[in-house]
Chains A and B, each alone.
Chain A
């Protein structure tokens, strides 16, 4: 098939799945935080609030886009575009499955990604660094002291946390000797003693546990998430940089934040957690996707049919259960398994990291601004530097 048409089909698919996922991450976040705080969370719109994202999107689109009279108009309109633009572009470089996959019933082979770049990681680093302009501009263009402080904090925080982030990224690059995301993942294939996967966090001679932790912490700061959400700290700055934004312009910032989260988690998955390689040896590992889905379905069925906790559970949960079991059986078919198991593993790791983001938001309080800066410069930066030094020494000692 023509390369162009194939690319367009893939683009459409990825865009659709990604946009839906962005909306549903927000639903998951609200649900998880609600359950952490012993609440129920969104429940009215659709079964278990599943249509809540749709309702939110409709609300945000149809809301009146009010523009305050004192803003700098050009930059005020430009800022959300900048934020969303630089948040969405990196997704197109992220590989999420194996190369040269043959699509069943056709003779098309394709890579499970939109574009393969030999400098993919550097480009993601560069583009995500540009994302701060959206926030800084929004803060400045709103012409409001709270927004301005939010924008200032964001830019200072971004510069400070980019250093440990980049240093943490260098160590796995040193060990795997490439900057292409696909080759980085290919370098992590295999197992030690058939048990421990050769992911970068376990890879000899220098397991990168510290740089993984540093990267995740810096990722929290780069995406302005709790506990580093100083730019939008609602109890000091009202809402920080997006005080003056409403309707779709506000939604753009919201979307950019979640897209950045997905990017950070994807990079962490690809660089540290072995990308689409399974956690156990392939013989058993091929069946895990099916087992996970069937297990989830069984839990849903049990809670729906045997122990319904709430009013409509005996109708809604069995439906989900059957759907999950169906998906699990789908994963048991060898052709589908070969095609989708890597994507399943990638998505599973990505979702676990996203869950960590939400979990942290539900549990940790916000840093004070001086604590944030001190943490970056006096703790993270030296730790990343020492980690890089040790990694470099070990890599130099083991290679000739």
Chain B
């Protein structure tokens, strides 16, 4: 069952990702990206990341992509025009990307033994002791061992809000 779910959602993810790159219209790309993010959330669940899967849904698909969609709809710039002069680059670049993938894959195969199976539910350790990906456990580490990065992130977000407001305000006056 795990394997079926993995292969199903891995296929959806890859198809959506390729579709995102190939589509000419930004809206189609954005929707494909939402598909990627949704199926990645399912893969996170298969890996025991309960909290992170929900954060993926809420933050990525629920907020960031809505923002993207909003901007695309606001600008309404239409499809990207076809350009023929870059064709040669496509033929030169694609093999390089395949080589990059091959190198990454080689290192992954070399570094990690393939025997370790992902068993769904293997993180359940009985009542009273939360699984490693549960909201309780993630929250506990987030507010104890990772407190300083967490606080710094909040400052980063504050700066980002200010930056966005400054950038967006400039064109009003």
Residues of chain B with a CB closer than 8 A to A151's CB: 73
Q: Which of B31, B66, B73 contacts A159 (CB 8 A)?
A: B66
A124 to chain B, nearest CB (A): 10
Residues of chain A with a CB closer than 8 A to B69's CB: 133, 136, 155
Given contacts A125-B54, A148-B73, A159-B66, 4 further A-B contacts (CB under 8 A): A122-B57, A129-B61, A148-B76, A155-B66
What residue of chain A has the Cβ atom nearest to residue B74's Cβ? A152
Residues on B facing A (Cβ under 8 Å): 27, 31, 34, 38, 41, 50-51, 54, 57-58, 61-63, 66-67, 69-70, 73-74, 76, 134-135
Prevailing SS type, chain B contact patch: helix
**A127 & B57 in contact (Cβ 8 Å cutoff):** yes
Contact with B along A162-206 (1 / 0, CB 8 A): 100010000000000001000000000000000000000000000
Q: Given the complex of chains A and B, what is the CA–CA distance between A127 and B61 in angstroms?
A: 9
**B73 & A129 in contact (Cβ 8 Å cutoff):** no
Of residues 67 through 121 on chain A, the ones whose CB sits less than 8 Å from some CB of chain B are 75, 118-119
Q: Given the complex of chains A and B, what is the CA–CA distance between A130 and B69 in angstroms?
A: 12
**B63 & A122 in contact (Cβ 8 Å cutoff):** no
**A125 & B74 in contact (Cβ 8 Å cutoff):** no
**B134 & A118 in contact (Cβ 8 Å cutoff):** yes
A327 is an interface residue with CB less than 8 A from chain B: no
**B62 & A119 in contact (Cβ 8 Å cutoff):** no
**A119 & B50 in contact (Cβ 8 Å cutoff):** yes
**B73 & A136 in contact (Cβ 8 Å cutoff):** yes
8 A-B pairs whose Cβ atoms sit less than 8 Å apart in the complex: A122-B51, A123-B57, A126-B61, A129-B57, A133-B66, A155-B69, A155-B70, A159-B70
Q: A136-B66, A152-B74 are in contact. Are A129 and B50 (CB under 8 A)?
A: no
What residue of chain B has the Cβ atom nearest to residue A159's Cβ? B66
Residues of chain A with a CB closer than 8 A to B61's CB: 126, 129-130
Residues of chain B with a CB closer than 8 A to A137's CB: 31
Residues on A facing B (Cβ under 8 Å): 75, 118-119, 122-123, 125-127, 129-130, 132-133, 136-137, 139-140, 148, 151-152, 155-156, 158-159, 162, 166, 179
Q: Given the complex of chains A and B, what is the CA–CA distance between A139 and B63 in angstroms?
A: 18
Q: Which of A122, A133, A155 contacts B58 (CB 8 A)?
A: A122
B160 to chain A, nearest CB (A): 15
Q: Which of A123, A133, A148 contacts B54 (CB 8 A)?
A: A123
Residues of chain A with a CB closer than 8 A to B38's CB: 130
Residues of chain B with a CB closer than 8 A to A152's CB: 70, 73-74
Prevailing SS type, chain A contact patch: helix
**B135 & A156 in contact (Cβ 8 Å cutoff):** no
Q: Which of A119, A132, A139, A179 contacts B66 (CB 8 A)?
A: A132
Q: Given the complex of chains A and B, what is the CA–CA distance between A179 and B134 in angstroms?
A: 10
Q: A129-B61, A162-B63 are in contact. Are A140 and B73 (CB under 8 A)?
A: yes
Q: A123-B54, A155-B70 are in contact. Are A129 and B135 (CB under 8 A)?
A: no
Residues of chain B with a CB closer than 8 A to A179's CB: 135
Q: Which of A118, A127, A139, A156 contacts B50 (CB 8 A)?
A: A118
**B34 & A129 in contact (Cβ 8 Å cutoff):** no
Q: A126-B61, A127-B57, A140-B27 are in contact. Are A133 and B51 (CB under 8 A)?
A: no
**A129 & B58 in contact (Cβ 8 Å cutoff):** yes
Q: Given the complex of chains A and B, what is the CA–CA distance between A214 and B73 in angstroms?
A: 29
**A122 & B135 in contact (Cβ 8 Å cutoff):** yes
What residue of chain A has the Cβ atom nearest to residue B58's Cβ? A126
Q: Which of B51, B67, B70, B74 contacts A119 (CB 8 A)?
A: B51
**B58 & A125 in contact (Cβ 8 Å cutoff):** yes
Q: Given the complex of chains A and B, what is the CA–CA distance between A17 and B118 in angstroms?
A: 39
Residues of chain A with a CB closer than 8 A to B51's CB: 119, 122
Q: Given the complex of chains A and B, what is the CA–CA distance between A137 and B63 in angstroms?
A: 15
What residue of chain B has the Cβ atom nearest to residue A180's Cβ? B135
What residue of chain B has the Cβ atom nearest to residue A125's Cβ? B58
Residues of chain A with a CB closer than 8 A to B66's CB: 129, 132-133, 136, 155, 158-159
What residue of chain B has the Cβ atom nearest to residue A129's Cβ? B62
Residues of chain B with a CB closer than 8 A to A130's CB: 38, 57, 61-62
Q: Nearest 6 pairs between A and B by C-beta?
A: A129-B62, A126-B57, A122-B54, A126-B58, A155-B70, A119-B50
A205 to chain B, nearest CB (A): 20
Q: A75-B27, A119-B135, A148-B73 are in contact. Are A129 and B63 (CB under 8 A)?
A: yes
A127 to chain B, nearest CB (A): 7
Residues of chain B with a CB closer than 8 A to A136's CB: 66, 69-70, 73
Residues of chain A with a CB closer than 8 A to B41's CB: 126
Q: Given the complex of chains A and B, what is the CA–CA distance between A130 and B54 in angstroms?
A: 12
B28 to chain A, nearest CB (A): 8
Q: Given the complex of chains A and B, what is the CA–CA distance between A133 and B63 in angstroms?
A: 11
Residues of chain A with a CB closer than 8 A to B50's CB: 118-119
Q: Which of B34, B67, B76 contacts A133 (CB 8 A)?
A: B34
Q: Given the complex of chains A and B, what is the CA–CA distance between A373 and B45 in angstroms?
A: 35
